Every structure is written in structure tokens, then in C-alpha cells.
């Protein structure tokens, strides 16, 4: 929700990034303030997932231009783990399986790392167990998730819920949800989006990266951005998403398209 005393959390200016020498982002501009929910939409290959990964600091992507300030700090001065500890959270489109590492151990380590970063008390395994079980209720998750390997053998929906559980535990300032809706059936979508809504507050901000409007039926965005050819070519309110649903992406930003060589 847009509110008066909101602070700027993220300021992206002219961001360019490449993977294996091919430029994918060609000048992204975006300002995100606390309390806001932004949706970034676009077709496959428009650069929206790349944008999410660049913000989180995936090493396969090279930043070739522009700047990103996170709460006033140059984001690119921080290593990926430092960005996470500073409060940048990426919910993965394809959460990674880590066989043999128990989910509860992983979650607790992540949680305690952040707690100590924030100068708060770490939780021992028993305390953590109680704490995480409460959070799991929010996402209607079975407690046996804790004993399994991280995402090991999880269904698509289970993986996404596990991502949301991590978000609930880590309470990020900026949460970037990369196609969290993909692969979810309607019940799972309701549970996951319900969880996101409960986590959204006036101090944090959420960026939803999605193909489809359907997620936005559950999470109401303050802004909808359309990405195309590595840039944000149109910004509007939630009604823009509905337009996209009926008219497709082809009409958006055609007039502003720049040749790739530019």
C-alpha cells in the first residue's frame, strides 16, 4: 500500500546486465518504496527473471551499466550473502535441491545468520522448531517438511511454499518473487498468496515477477510494469494487468522500442 511516510527501498537507474556477453537488461529504471507491491510482467525472454537474479547477485550475470541503490547503499558493493543479510530476498523460480541437508538445519542456519546480523538472539534447535512450526501453519505446511532434505523430492508446489516459508522466517525488507505462481494449482496459489499478503507491511516492499495476471487476483499490486527487450516499457496501476490479460503483450511499448544495437 502506498503511504505518505514511505521510504525509498530500491532505486534502479539505467541498469544494464549481460550473461555470457549477451546483454539482456538494457537500461532498467525502477523506484520501489516501503509498503509498495510492484508487479513486473512480460513475455519469456523479456528480462524480468534476469532482473531478479541481478538484484540478488547471481554470478552468471555481469552488470554492464547503471546503478542500484538499496536503502541508499550501492547494492553492487555487496556480495550475494551480504545482500541477503541486508534484507534482499529472492524467492526462486526453480528452488534448488540440496540432498542430504535437512530443511530444518538449513532454515535455522539462514534464520540465525540474519538474527545475528540484526543483533538479535539466535534460536537453539528446540526454540527454532517451535518458531518455524508457527510460520508453517501460515502456509498450511506439513511439519514433516522439516526433516526432509532441502527441496529434495518436493513437488513444484511444495518448493514454492518452502520459499514462502523462508520469506516468512527471514522477514526481508525487499522480497522479489520470481514467478512464484508458476506450477501452482489453484489451492496452492491461494495459500501462497495469502501468506505473502500476511507478510506485506508498511515497512517492506514486494516485487512480483510474473507472466500472468492470475496471481494479481490475490495480491493487489500498487504498480504494474511491463518489461520488454530488457527495459520497463510501461508502468500503470493494477488495471494494466487486466489489459495485458485480454490484449496480450504485443501492443505494449511498441512505439518506444529501441533497436537492439542502441
Partner 1 sequence: MSAVLQNLVNQPYKHGFVTEIESDIAPKGLNEDIIRLISTKKNEPAWLLDFRLKAYQQWLKMEEPKWPNVKYRQIDFQAISYYAAPKPKKKLNSMDEVDPELLRTFEKLGVPMHERAALAGVAVDVIFDSVSVATTYKQKLAEVGIIFCSISEAVHAYPELVKQYLGTVVPVGDNYYAALNSAVFTDGTFCFIPKGVKCPMDLSTYFRINTEESGQFERTLIVAEEGSSVSYLEGCTAPRFDTNQLHAAVVELIALDNADIKYSTVQNWYAGDEKGVGGIYNFVTKRGLAKGANSRISWTQVETGSAITWKYPSCILQGENSVGEFYSVAVTNNYQQADTGTKMIHIGKNTRSTIVSKGISAGHSNNSYRGLVRIAPTASGARNYSQCDSMLIGDQCGAHTFPYIQVRNQNAKVEHEASTSKIGEDQLFYFAQRGIGNEEAVSMIINGFCKDVFQQLPMEFAVEATKLLGFKLEGSVG
CB closer to partner 1, 95 vs 221: 95
**What phi and psi, each to the nearest 5 degrees, are found at residue 251?**
-75, -20
Cell of 77: 558493493
Q: Measured from the CB of residue 185, what is the shortest distance to partner 1 in angstroms?
A: 24
Query: Element (H or E) spanning 118, and its range?
Result: none
CB closer to partner 1, 37 vs 84: 84
Interacting residue ranges for partner 1, rule: CB under 8 A: 56-60, 79-81, 83-85, 89-90, 92, 95-96, 98-102, 105-106, 109-110, 113-114, 117, 149, 166, 170
Q: Measured from the CB of residue 91, what is the shortest distance to partner 1 in angstroms?
A: 9
**Residues 170, 168: Cα–Cα separation, whole Å:** 6
CB closer to partner 1, 21 vs 100: 100
**Residues 83, 246: Cα–Cα separation, whole Å:** 37
**Residues 128, 241: Cα–Cα separation, whole Å:** 40
Cell of 227: 518489461
Count the neighbouring beta carbons within 10 Å of the beta carbon of residue 67. Answer: 13
CB closer to partner 1, 105 vs 211: 105
**Residues 186, 103: Cα–Cα separation, whole Å:** 25
CB closer to partner 1, 90 vs 240: 90
Q: Measured from the CB of residue 79, what is the shortest distance to partner 1 in angstroms?
A: 7
Q: Measured from the CB of residue 80, what is the shortest distance to partner 1 in angstroms?
A: 4
Q: If phi over 0 gives left and psi between -120 and 50 gives alpha, with beta otherwise, what is residue 21?
A: left
Q: Measured from the CB of residue 62, what is the shortest distance to partner 1 in angstroms?
A: 14
Amino acid at each position: 500500500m502506498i503511504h505518505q511516510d514511505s521510504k525509498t527501498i530500491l532505486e534502479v537507474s539505467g541498469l544494464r546486465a549481460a550473461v555470457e556477453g549477451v546483454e539482456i537488461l538494457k537500461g532498467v529504471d525502477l523506484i520501489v518504496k516501503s509498503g509498495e507491491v510492484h508487479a513486473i510482467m512480460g513475455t519469456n525472454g523479456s528480462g524480468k527473471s534476469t532482473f531478479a537474479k541481478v538484484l540478488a547477485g547471481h554470478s552468471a550475470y555481469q552488470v554492464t551499466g547503471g546503478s542500484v541503490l538499496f536503502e541508499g547503499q550501492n547494492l553492487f558493493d555487496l556480495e550475494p550473502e551480504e545482500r541477503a543479510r541486508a534484507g534482499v530476498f529472492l524467492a526462486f523460480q526453480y528452488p534448488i535441491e540440496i540432498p542430504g541437508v535437512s530443511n530444518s538445519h538449513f532454515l535455522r542456519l539462514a534464520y540465525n545468520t540474519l538474527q545475528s546480523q540484526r543483533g538479535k538472539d539466535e534460536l537453539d534447535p528446540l526454540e527454532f522448531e517451535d518458531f518455524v512450526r508457527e510460520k508453517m501453519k501460515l502456509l498450511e505446511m506439513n511439519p514433516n517438511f522439516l526433516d526432509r532434505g532441502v527441496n529434495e523430492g518436493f513437488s513444484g508446489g511444495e518448493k514454492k511454499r518452502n520459499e514462502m516459508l523462508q520469506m516468512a522466517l527471514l522477514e526481508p525488507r525487499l522480497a522479489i518473487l520470481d514467478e512464484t505462481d508458476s506450477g501452482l494449482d489453484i489451492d496452492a496459489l491461494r495459500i501462497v498468496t495469502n501468506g505473502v499478503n500476511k507478510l506485506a507491511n508498511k515497512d517492506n516492499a514486494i516485487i512480483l515477477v510474473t507472466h500472468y495476471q492470475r496471481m494479481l487476483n490475490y495480491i493487489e499490486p500498487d504498480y504494474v510494469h511491463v518489461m520488454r527487450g530488457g527495459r520497463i516499457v510501461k508502468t500503470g496501476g493494477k488495471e494494466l494487468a487486466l489489459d495485458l490479460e485480454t490484449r496480450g503483450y504485443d501492443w505494449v511499448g511498441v512505439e518506444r522500442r529501441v533497436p537492439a544495437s542502441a
